[in-house]
């Protein structure tokens, strides 16, 4: 998921991205071939149709480690080559630490979009069709490999291919996004319904575990999973804004207990327990007067915090730069509008 960040983002946020080890398939020298469509990638490298079919049933004809390395190369570099119809090299994604990173795609797609801008419309349509085709084919293969119902052998374990399938889904989403952006410059492109990339149950559960660990409420998961996996992966790296750790442990996917407050027993508290700040409040009579006049009161935060001698509450007149909150919960979360 490195393609989602640049160095500045990472430095500013201090995020540690999850890593996927490169399994060492020799895509560049002994197994280096021309650009082909997705299904031809393994065939060109000596795999037979029967062997590939076996894989979909979980059966292996070669060693586990060699098979996993081929699958990883096929579903990442092979996917990209089939999509963009050009060679991709291992060294663009793998450096000395043998970790597969997708950062290269940031620069690549930036340059590619420039190329698309300069293409005549007919060529853009052809290009976008190729993107569509490759995605469909790869998606079908991910389903075949991940589907557990048809497995007659346990040689190829679900958890062993999960990291590759996760990478493939994130690359698929990035290509989909790239396709959406490119299609905006081509008037004659009729948008197709592309594959809706989704994680296997296993990868989904791993991600959910990570979200729970970071304090996210299970009642938000359904909503989160309606966005993209890239978004959820990002959420799973961040501490939930609700800083009181463990607060949502009793919540379920259907309801949030933490937000069901009992007014009689609820006590407000500081975000940081060492803080001793006191409540600030706008004078209610001023608010009431302004509201009675049919006007909108505006609070001056500096004045309320005694950092300014201006009026704490004024009436909104003409244009002003203000921040409006629809409401503020007593435990902190709010909805700006
Ligand atoms: Zn909750
Ligand atoms: Zn405080």
Burial string for 108-137 (b: 16+ CB within 10 Å, else e) reads bbeebeeebeeeeeeebbebbeebbebbeb
Q: What local confidence, expressed as pLDDT, does residue 42 receive?
A: 96
The per-residue pLDDT for range 27-77, each reduced to its tens digit, is: 988 877 888 999 999 999 999 999 999 999 999 999 999 999 999 999 999
Dist CA 114 CA 270 (whole Å): 50
Of 19-28, 44-53, 76-85, 323-332, least confident by mean pLDDT is 323-332
The per-residue pLDDT for range 210-250, each reduced to its tens digit, is: 998 888 889 988 888 888 899 899 889 887 766 566 778 88
Q: Give the Å distance between the CA of 279 and the centre of ligand 2.
A: 8
Q: Give the Å distance between the CA of 141 and the centre of ligand 2.
A: 54
Quickly tell me which residue has 């791993």 as its tokens.
206
SS (H, E, C) the chain: CHHHCCHHHHHHHCCCCCCEECCCCCCCCCCCCCCCCCCHHHHHCCCCHHHHHHHHCCCCCCCHHHHHHHHHHHHHHHHHHHHHCCCCCHHHCECCCCEECCCHHHHHHHHHHHHHHHCCHHHHHHHHHHHHHHHHHHHHHHHHHHCCCCCCCCCCCHHHHHHHHHHHHHHHHHHHHHHHHHHCCCCCCCCCCCCCCCCCHHHHHHHHHHHHHCCCCHHHHHHHCCCCHHHHHHHCCCCCCCCCCCCCCCCCCCCCCCCCCCCCCCCCCCCCCCCCCCCCCCCHHHHHHHHHCCCCEEECHHHHCCCCCCCCEEECCCCCCCCCEEEECCCCCEEEC
Dist CA 303 CA 293 (whole Å): 23
Q: What is the mean pLDDT of the chain?
A: 88
Q: Give the Å distance between the CA of 326 and the centre of ligand 2.
A: 22
Q: Which two tokens stand for residue 284?
A: 């209610």
Taking the CA atoms of the chain, what radius of gyration do you get in angstroms?
A: 27
Cβ–Cβ < 8 Å for 135, 194: yes
Quickly tell me which residue has 């630490």 as its tokens.
97
Q: How confident is the model at residue 14 (pLDDT cuts 50, 70, 90)?
A: confident
Q: What local confidence, expressed as pLDDT, does residue 29 receive?
A: 85
The per-residue pLDDT for range 284-309, each reduced to its tens digit, is: 999 999 999 999 999 998 898 888 88
Which has more pLDDT, 78 or 249? Answer: 78
Q: What local confidence, expressed as pLDDT, does residue 47 receive?
A: 96
Cβ–Cβ < 8 Å for 89, 28: yes
Q: Give the Å distance between the CA of 251 and the centre of ligand 1.
A: 5
Q: Parse the chain into domains and list their residue ranges.
A: 2-198, 284-336
Cβ–Cβ < 8 Å for 213, 189: no
Residue 313 phi/psi, 5° resolution? -130, 130
Residues with CB under 5 A from ligand 2 (ion): 270, 275, 277
Q: What local confidence, expressed as pLDDT, does residue 242 receive?
A: 61
pLDDT, mean of residues 320-328: 78
Q: Give the Å distance between the CA of 337 and the centre of ligand 1.
A: 23
Q: What local confidence, expressed as pLDDT, does residue 298 receive?
A: 94
Q: Give the Å distance between the CA of 246 and the centre of ligand 1.
A: 10
CA distances from 97 to 25, 94, 103 (A): 15, 8, 15
Query: ipTM for the complex?
Result: 0.71
Angle between the N-to-C axes of helices 121-146 and 49-56, in degrees from 0 to 180, rounded to the nearest 10 = 60
Q: Give the Å distance between the CA of 79 and the centre of ligand 1.
A: 39
Burial string for 236-265 (b: 16+ CB within 10 Å, else e) reads bbeebebeeeebbeebeeeebebeeeeeee
| Nearest listed ligand to the Cα of residue 270 | 2
Q: How confident is the model at residue 337 (pLDDT cuts 50, 70, 90)?
A: very low
pLDDT, mean of residues 133-147: 94
Dist CA 24 CA 94 (whole Å): 10
| Nearest listed ligand to the Cα of residue 240 | 1
The per-residue pLDDT for range 169-210, each reduced to its tens digit, is: 999 999 988 888 888 888 777 777 778 888 999 999 999 999
Q: Is pLDDT at 328 greater than 70 in this prediction?
A: no
pLDDT, mean of residues 280-284: 88
Residue 22: CB atoms within 10 A of its CB come to 20
| Nearest listed ligand to the Cα of residue 218 | 1
Q: Give the Å distance between the CA of 224 and the centre of ligand 1.
A: 14
Q: Give the Å distance between the CA of 269 and the centre of ligand 2.
A: 7
| Nearest listed ligand to the Cα of residue 256 | 1
Q: Give the Å distance between the CA of 226 and the centre of ligand 1.
A: 18
Residue 269 phi/psi, 5° resolution? -145, 165
**pLDDT > 90 in the chain, percent:** 46
């Amino acid at each position: 998921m490195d393609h989602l960040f640049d160095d500045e983002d990472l430095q500013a946020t201090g995020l540690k991205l999850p890593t996927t080890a490169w399994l060492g398939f020799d895509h560049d020298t002994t197994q280096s071939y021309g650009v082909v469509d997705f299904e031809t990638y393994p065939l060109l490298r000596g795999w037979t149709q029967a062997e590939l079919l076996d894989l979909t049933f979980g059966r292996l004809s070669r060693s586990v480690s060699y098979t996993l390395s081929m699958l990883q190369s096929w579903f990442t570099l092979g996917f990209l080559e089939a999509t963009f119809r050009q060679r991709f090299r291992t060294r663009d994604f793998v450096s000395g630490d043998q970790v597969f990173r997708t950062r290269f795609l940031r620069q690549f797609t930036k340059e590619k979009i420039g190329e698309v801008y300069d293409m005549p419309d007919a060529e853009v349509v052809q290009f976008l069709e190729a993107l569509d085709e490759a995605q469909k084919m790869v998606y079908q293969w991910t389903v075949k490999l991940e589907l557990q119902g048809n497995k007659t052998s346990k040689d190829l374990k679900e958890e062993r291919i999960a990291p590759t399938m996760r990478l493939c889904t994130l690359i698929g989403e990035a290509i989909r996004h790239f396709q959406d952006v490119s299609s905006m410059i081509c008037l004659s492109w009729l948008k197709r319904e592309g594959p809706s990339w989704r994680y296997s149950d296993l990868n989904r559960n791993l991600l959910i575990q990570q979200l729970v660990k970071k304090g996210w409420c299970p009642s938000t998961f359904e909503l989160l999973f309606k966005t993209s996996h890239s978004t959820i992966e990002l959420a799973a790296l961040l501490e939930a804004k609700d800083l009181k750790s463990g607060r949502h442990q009793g919540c379920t996917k259907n309801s949030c207990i933490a937000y069901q407050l009992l007014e009689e027993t609820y006590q407000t508290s500081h975000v940081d327990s060492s803080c001793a700040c006191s409540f600030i409040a706008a004078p209610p009579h001023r608010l009431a007067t302004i509201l009675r006049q049919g006007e909108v009161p505006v609070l001056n935060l500096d004045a309320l915090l005694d950092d300014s001698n201006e009026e704490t509450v004024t009436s909104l007149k003409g244009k002003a730069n203000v921040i409006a909150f629809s409401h503020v919960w007593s435990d902190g979360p709010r909805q700006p509008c």
